[in-house]
Amino acid sequence: MQNLGIIFRRELMGYFATPLAYIFIVIFLITNGIFTFDIGGFYLRGQADLLPFFSFHPWLYLFMVPAIAMTLWADERKTGTIELLLTLPIKLSEAVLGKFLAAWVLTGIALALTFPIWITVNYLGDPDNGVILAAYIGSWFMAGGLLAIGSCMSACTKNSVIAFILTVSICFTFVIMGSPILLNALPAWLPQFIVDAFAALGFLTHFDSISKGVLDIRDFLYFTVFIAAWLLASAIVIEIKKAN
């Protein structure tokens, strides 16, 4: 477990050693502002909640998170540091988890820095802060799910651009899985349980209920299992592909 912490710190420090972390945070905050105030009609709605803010997060993450995740393992393979890292006396699981957590905490920091919007909504009205907190946590878990996909895709290739494109594609699939657009497009003869299973796998299904303040342990369980599964897949891919 100590190694996990050491790797985590190194990775997080690595993000802040380059402009990457700062650019990510700034762009995240600006886009969030545009989405919430301009497109989301934050003021026009006349309601003191952060629904327009959170409802854009899946789409924002769709491009922001793969940008963070793409280098996770692809760069290690490209520069050969994977050989250094995996011949140190650490477990592969510590490396996979440490790297993932560092990236996840970075998205957490970016998310936490959106606090002025929370202050704004509290200044303007009297929102349900419990719902807002739940939505923040839900949003962070969703980012984690997308990051875990990104970790696995990044392990598949030496080329971080390919990792980015793969991650965006797969993340897009999971984000829209639960959306009505896709569910309506499914052929009518499909049995209901398959449609339900399909919807249950989608991010939106789970995130929507969390962001509306419905704190169901199953939604968090979904994201936790999702993250664990993709991280396990990352470890397997790294193990198989490290030779080439």
Partner 1 sequence: MIEISRLTKKFDQFAAVDDLSFKVAEGEVLGFLGPNGAGKSTTMKVITGFLSPSAGSVMVDGFDIVQNPIEAKTLIGYLPEGAPSYGDMTTLEFLNFIAEIRGYRGEEIATRVQHVIREVELESVAQQTIETLSKGFKRRVGLAQAIMHDPKVLILDEPTDGLDPNQKHHVRELIKNLAKDKIVIISTHILEEVTAVCTRAIIIDEGRIVIDGTPAELEEKSKYHHAVSVRLTQDYDLASDLQGVSGIGDVVKEGEENSFTILASNSDSIFAKVSEIAQRKQWPVTEFHVNRGQLEDVFRSVTSQSQGGE
Q: Please give the residue ranges that form the binding site for partner 1 (CB under 8 A).
A: 3, 6-7, 10, 13-14, 17-18, 79-81, 83-84, 86-91, 242-244
Least distance in angstroms from the C-beta of 242 to partner 1: 7
Q: Which residues contact 99 (CB under 8 A, 6 or more apart)?
A: 7, 8, 11, 72, 73, 151
Torsion-angle region of residue 41: left (phi > 0), alpha (psi -120 to 50) or beta?
left
Q: What angle do CA 95, 21, 86 make, to 5 degrees?
A: 15
Given a contact cutoff of 8 angstroms between Cβ atoms, the answer to whether 185 and 109 are in contact is no
The CB-of-90 to partner 1 minimum distance in angstroms stands at 6
- For partner 1, the closer CB: 7 or 199: 7
- What's the rounded Cα separation, in Å, for the pair 205 and 216? 12
> CB of residue 82 vs partner 1: minimum separation in angstroms?
8
Q: Which is nearer to partner 1, 83 or 128 (CB)?
A: 83
Which CB sits closer to partner 1, 103 or 175?
103
Q: Which residue has the tokens 């939604």?
A: 219
State which residue, 44 or 243, has the beta carbon closest to partner 1.
Answer: 243
> C-beta of 7: minimal distance to partner 1 in Å?
8
Smaller CB distance to partner 1: residue 8 or 223? 8
Nearest to 11 by CA among 113, 140, 104: 104
CB 8 within 8 A of CB 101: yes
Token pair 């790294």 is found at 238
Nearer to partner 1, 72 or 227 (CB): 72
Q: Minimum CB separation from partner 1 for residue 6, in Å?
A: 5
185-to-62, 143, 179, 180, 200 alpha-carbon distances in Å = 22, 26, 10, 8, 16
In the complex, least distance from residue 210 CB atom to partner 1, rounded to whole angstroms: 36
AA identity, residue 194: I
